[in-house]
Chain A
Amino acid sequence: MQATELLRNYYVDTNTWDEMYRDSSVREQYQRVVAFMQQLDLEELNKKEELAKRLFMSQGITFTVYSSGEGIEKIFPFDIIPRIITATEWDHIEKGIKQRLSALNLFLKDVYHNQFILKDGVVPIEMIYSCPHYLREMYNLPVPYDLYVHIAGIDLIRNNDGSFYILEDNLRTPSGVSYMLENREITKRIFPDLLPQNNVRSVIEYPNILHKNLVSLSPRQIANPTIVLLTPGIYNSAYFEHTTLARLMGVELVEGRDLVVDNHRVYMKTTFGLQQVDVIYRRVDDEFLDPLTFNPNSVLGVSGIMNAYRKGNVAIVNAVGNGVADDKAIYCYVPDMIRYYLNEEPILKNVPTYRLDNPEHREYVFNNITNMVVKKTNESGGYGMLMGNNTSDEEIREYCAAIKKDPRQFIAQPIISLSSAPCYMQGKLQPRRVDLRPYALCGPDGIEIVPGGLTRVALREGSLVVNSSQGGGSKDTWVLSA
């Protein structure tokens, strides 16, 4: 059987933007890939899918799911068909994210210093002071180059008219970039020569840019500052990513117990004694970073590290206290921040968001709950989320009760019909909903966004939830050259 069958059953919901199809024809950017696939027979395609799985497994690109006391290795499901973004689309995204991050970074500097934006009433003080991630320990603490957000993973979705919306700003410890890198490596293996034929831009520079930025933050002006990546350890589901990044940058991968603070400097314990650490790219959350200052029960952190940080003896990436800027309730104010700090109109739109501590908004949301997605302001990864369109009345009632109890902790958004992209499933292409997370790196020389990102895909038919914890997978993401 020839793979021309591939497209036969590709039904696109009329109210959805499809990345590949328009008016039952294949968009230009997808034509080469579709043509390539059509000349393969199904067996070859299945073999390629099999190869992809095997490569992930044997390279240990897995995360561990613990059930009944036993670890099971899972691969983050990978769909072989790339998601393709045109040069024009990318240009728009890139400009929008750069603008947004510039504003968010200025906002962080401001809320931890002069608080102009609060004094001018653009962002309500209550919003900030009721956010558990607003860390008073960061107040007036200088950070190198006034940079707070060094690494951001900005989640974008696409509405039915094709325009991009910002869904979430992840400014603390965004994960997934190793999948951007590994997915590309896998594509090179399963679709040989297809990348150069399509003029796909490379993502390979990511670790180099990150490393260059980390070096530039070193408080000691020495030729080879010591840079470490601080991981929570092997049980963390992103551990694979931590090792990958450490390896690609050639930096030491450390756990909290490898570090010690003495005389307000951070050292790592080596077989030859203590060695001073200059820059820490940490993948441990603020709460667990310093048991002396924050959660005293943390066993992942380093006691006294905040004191070394305050003295400027070590740089921490991302800065501590960034959670106040990616809080889902404060998200509503990001367009205002852009206008306030940059005097510009936002290039990328926010998804309309209802703050549930506002009684009018709450009323509206309760009356329209079946068209809403309700999220907790301080959680990520798809946890604690309610999709109004497929939840039982019982659950909705319980959830609403929880909202009434502590409305500041919730926001609601209309359910946006994410764009769909083709996935190879059971021998044919089927549309599935996708989002996009590009990774931005901010250094003293400005913001750089590697042309690509992580496309997450909701593998279940009809599902709008792309989080890996909720049955999502990923795709290689191609950005084409102009």
Chain B
Amino acid sequence: MPQFKIHHVTRYTYEVPVRDSANQIILFPVKDEFQTVLKQDLTITGEPAVDIYKDYYGNEVGSFMFADAHTELKIDSKIEVVTQPRPLPTDSVPKEEQWNSLQAIRSQVPFIDFLKQESCDVVDEIKRDTQVGQYLKVTPLTAAQKLNEYVYQEFQYIKGVTSVETTPDEIWKLKAGVCQDFAHILLVMLRMTGIPARYVSGYICPNHNGMRGEGATHAWVEAYIPNYGWLGLDPTNNCFVKDLHVRLAVGRSFSDCSPVKGTYKGTSNHSLEVGVSVSYEDGHVQDDHATVLTAQPNTNGLQKSDENSYRRYLEMIQQQQ
């Protein structure tokens, strides 16, 4: 039963004051039999009231506004969480039966959402290159594991070549990216074989084990395995998810789980820094002193509602029923 203290800081700074900021955060760990939240402290610039609700996928989502003029918005989340390892599926049921049961739930909620490919033009290419047929000849569990490994082997882990807006098509061409891209590609592959798959956002807490994804939020995938349920697969680290991952949210893709997003009004450019640090029971702190913030590319999170009059005009003339 590992216990982690996680400190996650998101900071936006603006050159000149902005106002009317509206924000959404998905920073509340899932609470279930494998994950217990002991404590969560959330501090936000201006101390706005945060309203928390459950979204369609069952995630806890917080919303808040900050209308006064401000030059900084800092969201500081400190959590203490205990995770339980979950035994892996036994995989004893014959594979045909397993595939048939996946076929049977295709059109059921919630699986229908987790089987639909989200605008991906290269599915056929992926099917060809991965020789999709071979995965249908093994059990869904083995198929999922092999595809997880395929992504780990064939894609390079490089920071900075992609952004939150990079599509699976682009990732497939790049054959590189970070955890979020690895997860997006694995989602496409699992879905093309008929295994329901969902995106997971959270933290990884490897304690000395040198896994990828530390110092920031992490992302991986859950595949639906018959007679078992949702099984976590981390393609960035080529492993099953046991008790070193802390789950924040699930969804069809990143956009359902975006940890922090917001809009504001103002002419200012913003810069965004994010840092995550984990401290362990044995006293080890991943980032020894304070949480280190790293600058993020500008496409991330906050959108400025600027005045593009052409776009505005197009939108205005379109609205008609």
Interchain CB contact under 8 A, A292 and B262: yes
Q: With the chains together, A143 CA to B112 CA distance in Å?
A: 26
Judge whether A34 is part of the interface by a CB distance below 8 angstroms: no
Interchain CB contact under 8 A, B320 and A380: yes
Judge whether A136 is part of the interface by a CB distance below 8 angstroms: yes
Interchain CB contact under 8 A, A236 and B56: no
- Within residues 355 to 374 of chain A, which ones have a CB less than 8 A from any CB in chain B? none
- Within residues 240 to 272 of chain B, which ones have a CB less than 8 A from any CB in chain A? 261-263
Contacts of B311 in A (CB 8 A): 297, 299
Main secondary structure of the interface of A (DSSP, over half): loop
Contacts of B113 in A (CB 8 A): 129
Interchain CB contact under 8 A, A129 and B319: no
Contacts of A381 in B (CB 8 A): 320-321
Q: With the chains together, A298 CA to B313 CA distance in Å?
A: 11
Q: Mark B301-321, 1 if CB is under 8 A from A, else 0.
A: 001011110011101111111
A198 to nearest B CB, angstroms? 31
Which of B54, B55, B109 is in CB contact (< 8 Å) with A115? B109
Q: A263-B65, A304-B63, A311-B51 are in contact. Are A296 and B263 (CB under 8 A)?
A: yes
Contacts of B313 in A (CB 8 A): 66, 235
B3 to nearest A CB, angstroms? 33
Which of A125, A137, A292, A296 is in CB contact (< 8 Å) with B112? A125
Interchain CB contact under 8 A, A304 and B319: no
Task: Tell me how many residues of B have a C-beta within 8 Å of chain A.
Answer: 40
Query: Which one of A49-57, A72-80, A168-176, A418-426 is at the interface?
Result: A168-176
Main secondary structure of the interface of B (DSSP, over half): mixed
Interchain CB contact under 8 A, B263 and A238: no
A132 to nearest B CB, angstroms? 11
Q: With the chains together, A147 CA to B274 CA distance in Å?
A: 42
Judge whether A233 is part of the interface by a CB distance below 8 angstroms: yes
Bin the interface of chain A by size. Answer: 35 or more
Contacts of A234 in B (CB 8 A): 316
Q: With the chains together, A381 CA to B20 CA distance in Å?
A: 35
Judge whether A46 is part of the interface by a CB distance below 8 angstroms: no
- Within residues 251 to 269 of chain A, which ones have a CB less than 8 A from any CB in chain B? 260-264
Interchain CB contact under 8 A, A238 and B303: no
- Within residues 41 to 76 of chain B, which ones have a CB less than 8 A from any CB in chain A? 48-49, 51, 53-57, 63, 65, 67
Contacts of B263 in A (CB 8 A): 291-292, 296, 303-304
Please report A residues at the B interface, Cβ cutoff 8 Å. Answer: 66, 115, 118, 124-126, 129-130, 136-137, 139-140, 153, 170, 172-175, 232-238, 260-264, 283-285, 288, 291-293, 296-300, 303-304, 307, 310-311, 380-381, 469
Further contacts, 7 of them, CB under 8 A, given A175-B321, A283-B319, A296-B263: A115-B109, A125-B107, A136-B55, A260-B20, A261-B20, A299-B307, A300-B319
